[in-house]
Amino acid sequence: MTHYAIATDLNRCVGCLACSVACKAMNNVPVGDYWNKTLRVGPNPKADGCGTWPDVEMYFLTVQCQHCKDPECVKVCPTGASHIADDGTVQIDKSKCIGCQFCAMSCPYGVRYLNTEERVVEKCTLCEQRIAQGELPACVAQCGGRARFFGDLDKGIDSFEAPWVVDVTEGDPSYDKTEHTRITLKECVQEYKQSDVHHLPDVGNDPSFVYILRDRDWQGEE
Amino acid sequence: MELQWPLILFTTLTAWGCGVLGGAGALALKGAGKKSQQLLAIVSCVLLALGGIAVFFHLQHWERIFNGFGHITSGITQELIAIVVFVVIAVAYFVMARKSDDGGTLPKWMAWVAIAISVVLAAVCAHSYMMPARPAWDSVLEVLSIVGAACLLGPATCAVVLAAKGEDADACGLPAVAGSAIGAVCTAAYAAFIQMSAGAFSQVGYYFDPTHPTKAVADAAATAGAQAPLLWLGAVVVGAVVPLAVCVLARKKGDAASWKLFGGVAVVAALIGAVCLRVAFYNVGLSVFMFY
């Protein structure tokens, strides 16, 4: 069974916010709402440092719907509007939503928003309109640091993909070629250990998104 | 999170309605308050209806309300079912009281059914908010706080109604005092839980959210600490200790005038306390990952 997710190499993320902007543009996210945010975590003292600058470290953390395996939002939704789709992503059937917003309350990450115009709750769809036709989510496609990779968790995160440089000297540099020229996470990023792989805090929802952070302390519980 | 006033009103009014029907059931068990039984059943339904109106201001697509029956294991679906069952039982309660010879005698089983559905509805409504994502909400004490609100509000309201109808309001004395005591313990226990919830939130040290550059850093300890006046002065002292004290006083005096006055004071104070508790509940309702 498929379970799409995103893996982000936080050592590569430069905090350019391109993912956040791409998401807003691609999904027409209302002003004031953010389906995808980039937080700066730190600067915090290094574990074995003097406690002040320059012994500090920080990283950027991209946060959005984690498309959990056991999502709290789906458990509390009284209508079945919030559901797990066949591709393992968590989606909202807006035509069923009564706008009770309990899904937004039950989300451990606060990534759901009430669209006040449509009067339904919205969130990251993992760009289902794009992934359904084999494209990458906008946040992955536009990542300025090539830090984000998209793929099927069941195949392991090493198989996750990001866009790769299109060789325009060979053949036709078409949209299709641009979209399907990719590199895998294993080919692209520095080696990492299993202890470098992190998730956002899990309160029983089993978040699917993966964060790789080497040589720095992951802040917060998992 | 922001105060959800429709939900604050819904929860408070539902607890009140449950308390009234439960109080009526307690009176029916003793064979007391016969002239008031029909009125109490109506009052409980009116309170529930007012709560229903309030909650419709929260629902963004209330015209799709029947979709709310679509997921049996979700808290809201269970609430809707419990509300329907409550109304059916309240109507049956009213009809049985009306059909009895003196217009107010109910079989003991019906009295127990009324008490049971009152406890169940209050508990189910509160249980919807038990979410692992909101550490300050995720406790059985939260459920007991709503059941406690029903215990505080219901019997005192019944005493006022009995006194107003010229019945022996003292028949409601023990339920009112016991209900106030239970409510006070439940309220104080949940207030203490909220105050101690700060340690359950995820911490990432310093952080910055570029979409809210001027927003203060989330601080669960400060947020929980700031609720102390609402919790201890509003919910516990005004909302629980005052009702308990005036119910004890009214029971000592025992006359209708005392119950009218002190029962009314108990209801108003308990309402203020219930609202204070729910306001603090939303103020401290941060998600476990509170930085987004």
Query: Residue A24 CB: number of other CB atoms within 10 A?
Result: 18
Pair of tokens at residue A113: 């928003």
Residue among A98, A102, A203 whose CB faces B61 most closely: A98
pLDDT confidence tier of residue B71, bands split at 50, 70 and 90? very high
pLDDT confidence tier of residue A124, bands split at 50, 70 and 90? very high
Closest CA to B155 of B260, B17, B269, B20: B20
In percent, the amount of chain B with pLDDT more than 70 equals 100
pLDDT tens for residues B47-65? 999 999 999 999 999 999 9
Q: What is the dihedral angle through the alpha carbons of B157, B159, B165, B166, rounded to the nearest 10 degrees?
A: -160
pLDDT of residue A170: 77
pLDDT confidence tier of residue A221, bands split at 50, 70 and 90? confident
Distance from CA of B103 to the nearest CA of A (A): 40
pLDDT tens for residues B258-271? 999 999 999 999 99
Residue among B62, B77, B211 whose CB faces A37 most closely: B211
**DSSP string of A19-85?**
HHHHHHHHHTPPTT--SEEEEEEEEEE-TTS-SSTTSEEEEEEEEE----SS-HHHHH-SSS-EEE-
Distances (CA, A) of A40 to A44, B26, B209: 11, 58, 6
CB contact under 8 A, A78 and B76: yes
Please give the residue of chain B at the shortest CA–CA distance from A37: B292
pLDDT of residue A192: 97
Determine contact: A72 vs chain B, CB below 8 A: yes
Give SS3 for B207: strand
Residues of B in contact with A220 (CB under 8 A): 202-204, 289
Task: Find the distance separating the first CA and the last CA of chain B, reported in whole Å.
Answer: 12
Distance from CA of B278 to the nearest CA of A (A): 15
User: Is residue A60 within 8 Å of A41, Cβ to Cβ?
Assistant: yes
Residues of A in contact with B81 (CB under 8 A): none
CB contact under 8 A, A120 and B64: no
Distance of alpha carbon B16 from its chain centroid, rounded?
Answer: 6
Q: What is the dihedral angle through the alpha carbons of B109, B112, B116, B117, rounded to the nearest 10 degrees?
A: 60
User: Is residue B23 within 8 Å of B172, Cβ to Cβ?
Assistant: yes
CB contact under 8 A, B74 and A39: no
Determine contact: B139 vs chain A, CB below 8 A: no
Closest CA to A200 of A190, A208, A192, A189: A208
Distance from CA of B179 to the nearest CA of A (A): 30
pLDDT exceeds 80 at position A172: no
What DSSP designation does B239 have? I
What DSSP designation does A189 have? S
pLDDT of residue A180: 85
**What number of H helices and E strands is found in chain B?**
10, 1
Query: Residue A177 CB: number of other CB atoms within 10 A?
Result: 14
pLDDT of residue A151: 98
User: Is residue B9 within 8 Å of B60, Cβ to Cβ?
Assistant: no
CB contact under 8 A, A98 and B134: no
φ/ψ bin of A118: left (φ > 0), alpha (ψ from -120 to 50), beta (otherwise): alpha
Residue among B68, B132, B290 whose CB faces A98 most closely: B68
Instruction: State how far the Cα of B232 lies from the Cα of B182, in Å rounded to an integer.
Output: 16
Please give the residue of chain A at the shortest CA–CA distance from B64: A98
Mutation to test the A interface, candidates B65, B77, B129, B289, most A Cβ within 10 Å: B289
Determine contact: A218 vs chain B, CB below 8 A: no
pLDDT tens for residues A71-120? 999 999 999 999 999 999 999 999 999 999 999 999 999 999 999 999 99
Identify the bridge partners of residue A115 per DSSP, sorted by sequence position. Answer: A120
Determine contact: A199 vs chain B, CB below 8 A: no
pLDDT exceeds 90 at position B168: no
Pair of tokens at residue A206: 């089993």
For residues A23-40, give the mean pLDDT.
95
pLDDT exceeds 90 at position B43: yes
Residues of B in contact with A51 (CB under 8 A): none
CB contact under 8 A, A77 and B71: yes
pLDDT of residue B60: 95
Single-letter code of the amino acid located at B213: P
CB contact under 8 A, A41 and B207: yes
CB contact under 8 A, B69 and A78: yes
pLDDT of residue B169: 84
Q: Which of B3-12, B28-37, B151-160 has the lowest mean pLDDT?
A: B28-37
Pair of tokens at residue B33: 């308050």
pLDDT exceeds 90 at position A178: no
Instruction: State how far the Cα of B288 lies from the Cα of A11, in Å rounded to an integer.
Output: 25
pLDDT exceeds 80 at position A190: yes
Instruction: State how far the Cα of A19 lies from the Cα of A145, in Å rounded to an integer.
Output: 10
User: Is residue A182 within 8 Å of A161, Cβ to Cβ?
Assistant: yes
CB contact under 8 A, B67 and A111: no
Long-range contact pairs involving A186-194 (C-beta distance under 8 Å, separation at least 24): A186/A158, A186/A159, A188/A146, A188/A149, A188/A162, A189/A9, A189/A11, A189/A12, A190/A11, A190/A214, A192/A9
Residue among B1, B59, B292 whose CB faces A99 most closely: B59
Residues of B in contact with A119 (CB under 8 A): 60-61
pLDDT confidence tier of residue B280, bands split at 50, 70 and 90? very high
Cα-atom radius of gyration of chain B, to the nearest Å?
20
Residue with tokens 């019944």: B158
pLDDT confidence tier of residue A175, bands split at 50, 70 and 90? confident
Pair of tokens at residue B135: 């550490």
pLDDT of residue A1: 81
pLDDT confidence tier of residue A173, bands split at 50, 70 and 90? confident
Q: At what angle do helices B173-195 and B140-164 cross, to 10 degrees?
A: 150
pLDDT of residue B95: 96
pLDDT exceeds 80 at position B150: yes
pLDDT of residue B277: 97
Q: What is the reported pTM?
A: 0.93
pLDDT of residue A166: 85
**DSSP string of B128-184?**
TT--TT-TTT-SHHHHHHHHHHHHHHHHHHHHHHHHHTTS-GGGGHHHHHHHHHHHH
For residues A138-155, give the mean pLDDT.
96
For residues B13-17, give the mean pLDDT.
97
Please give the residue of chain B at the shortest CA–CA distance from A41: B207
CB contact under 8 A, B205 and A44: yes
In percent, the amount of chain A with pLDDT more than 70 equals 100
Determine contact: A144 vs chain B, CB below 8 A: no
Distance from CA of B229 to the nearest CA of A (A): 25
β-sheet with B207-208: strand ranges across? A56-64, A36-45, B207-208
pLDDT of residue B91: 97
Tell me whether 0.95 is exceeded by the ipTM: no
pLDDT of residue A61: 97
Determine contact: B84 vs chain A, CB below 8 A: no
pLDDT tens for residues B183-210? 999 999 999 999 999 888 988 999 999 9
CB contact under 8 A, A219 and B203: yes
Instruction: State how far the Cα of B148 lies from the Cα of B16, in Å rounded to an integer.
Output: 10
Instruction: State how far the Cα of B33 lies from the Cα of B43, in Å rounded to an integer.
Output: 14
What mean pLDDT value characterizes chain A? 95
Instruction: State how far the Cα of A87 lies from the Cα of A41, in Å rounded to an integer.
Output: 31
Give SS3 for B117: helix
Give residues 13 to 32 of A whose Cβ lies within 8 Å of B.
17, 20
Residue among B64, B207, B287 whose CB faces A98 most closely: B64
pLDDT of residue A185: 97
